[in-house]
Amino acid sequence: MNLIQITDELAIQSSNKDWSVAKKGTAKDKATGLMVDTWTPFTFHSTLDRAVKSLGEHMLRTGNAKSCDELIQAAADISEILSKKFTANAEIRIR
């Protein structure tokens, strides 16, 4: 499984079957007893494009925008973050 960490708490994972959006958590390692970081998928997608759009929409829905102007700015900020993570020349828009 491959993982592309987008924020401190969110990532996109891939397997040989699908793409998923995952949230970071912690769990106790059974072998060592130490707390370790884990990534738990919460949405599954057939393409990377769909996973990225789903992640962006999740970030927008769970953000702190309190007005239309803040929501528009948050969408622009999220689009920029995702575009920079995946390619310097691509532009991914959350619609």
User: For residue 1, what pLDDT band results from cuts at 50, 70 and 90?
Assistant: confident
Sign of CA pseudo-dihedral 64, 68, 69, 71: positive
Q: Are 6 and 55 in contact (CB under 8 A)?
A: yes
Q: Are 12 and 52 in contact (CB under 8 A)?
A: yes
pLDDT in tens, 41-83: 999 999 988 999 999 999 999 999 999 999 999 999 999 999 8
The overall average pLDDT reported for the chain is 90
Q: Are 78 and 94 in contact (CB under 8 A)?
A: yes
- The encoded tokens of residue 41 equal 């998928």
Q: Are 42 and 51 in contact (CB under 8 A)?
A: no
Please state the domain extents for the chain.
2-86
pTM of the model: 0.80
